Amino acid sequence: MKSLLLILIGSVIFGSTANAGMFSRSSAPSSCRGKSVPRGKCAVLYDDADCAGWQHVVPVGYSELSVMRRNDAESLIVRPGCKFVGYDHDNKKSVVKRGDSVTVNAWNDDLPKAKNLTGKKELEERISSAQCNCRTFSAEQCPSSATVPRS
């Protein structure tokens, strides 16, 4: 009877650990917690997954990444009320010439959206330019910085 109880407790602990692992993978990347989109800005790109390495602040509107930063970003956070579209190529005038795109949409969110870019389809280490727009405010009107919650 006692050994059965131990097995039961063991499986409960194991089960909850497995769930916690799944949860952290499907929710915001853990090390993005506490990271902020600065006042007046739309999003922040990071060198590595989970908001690690260099960071590049993305303004509202169209912008291009510097030679050092393009084809290198692997995660990002987007201000709530904004939508980020990253493109494979850069071209100020033609959206078509920007090639493949990845969208991270926080348009209807109350909190910043954090995402790891995974694989070719999500333009992992491929983003060269970005179009970032916000719902209710221009760059000048962006409120204070927006922070990913720690829990």
Our CB check for Ca ion shows the closer of 48 and 109 to be: 48
Taking the least distance from each CB to Ca ion, the nearer of 47 and 50 is: 47
Taking the complex as a whole, the smallest distance from the CB of residue 114 to Ca ion amounts, in Å, to 16
- Four-residue CA torsion sign, 28, 46, 81, 96: negative
- Structural contact between residues 41 and 60, judged by C-beta atoms closer than 8 angstroms: yes
**CB nearest Ca ion: which residue?**
128
Give the interface with Ca ion as residue ranges (CB under 5 A): 47, 71-72, 74, 88, 126, 128
CB within 8 Å of 142: residues ≥ 6 apart: 39, 40, 41, 42, 60, 79, 134
Write down the least CB distance from residue 26 to Ca ion, Å: 22
State the minimum distance, in angstroms, from the CB of residue 92 to Ca ion: 15
